[in-house]
Amino acid sequence: MSRTRIKICGLTREEDVDAAVAAGVDAIGFVRYAKSPRHVSAERAAELVRRLPPFLSSVLLYVNAAEEQIASDCALIAPTLLQFHGDETPIQCESIAKACTRPWIRAARIPLGSAAQFDLIEFTQDFHHAQAILLDAEVEGYGGGGKAFQWSLLPPSVNAHLVLSGGLTPANVGEGVRALRTRGFSLGVDVSSGVEADGPDGKPLKGIKNADKILQFVEAVRAADARED
């Protein structure tokens, strides 16, 4: 059985990048969307990317960004992948990726209460040039809301590499992996709020990760990979 790839997204600090690398993740994501509390500047993202060892992917996340901004970022940061998380059309994604000479992934925003009504097959066909389709919950603000959609209602067979996101934590990611690992060509998981440090009010400190939670998340994914069911 193939190994589930792991991405930690929304990093803003050196110590969190180092913790993710030490835990053995496959990719690290940086948010280039100014309205997000996890946003980092291009210069800051470049600093953090320089900490990554060889063969570990860096991903820049965008929401309806101008092609000029993304091209400028790519020249400075040289990311491995682009992630489109807004309302970008297939033509826009392909045009930007071609200009930046980068592969890309596209987020599908799945309604929380009606996952079965979202036509993932059609979405995948529309974005067939994407390297993968990222499955996230539809929340206000284009993701990062820590909400999970109904995984079991997705189609049983999708002609794409899939990345599960939205509301994942060390406690539930194993269930998500087991539910979706046979539905696409391969499966990855993407977590942000689920591995963040807790604030005084018990809510996640957005952009501040917890090294223990990152390690627990990775261990939970690997344990799910090891199971046959």
Question: Which residues are tagged catalytic?
Answer: 9, 136
Residues ≥6 apart with Cβ < 8 Å to 140: none
User: Is residue 217 within 8 Å of 173, Cβ to Cβ?
Assistant: yes
Determine the 3-state secondary structure of 31 from DSSP.
strand
Give the integer Cα–Cα distance in Å for 42 and 167: 27
The set of long-range contacts for 200-207, using a CB threshold of 8 Å and a minimum separation of 24, is 204/146, 206/10, 206/37, 206/38, 206/144, 207/10, 207/11, 207/12, 207/13, 207/37, 207/38
Q: CA 61, CA 39: separation in Å to the nearest integer?
A: 9
Both tokens of 52, joined, read: 């990554």
Q: Which residue is associated with the tokens 């998340």?
A: 217
Is 167 exposed, middle or buried (CB count within 10 Å of its CB: 0-12, 13-18, 19+)? buried
Contact assessment for residue 102 and residue 67, using Cβ atoms and an 8 Å cutoff? no
DSSP single-letter state for residue 170: T
Q: What is the DSSP string of 147-164?
A: ----GGGS-S--SS-EEE
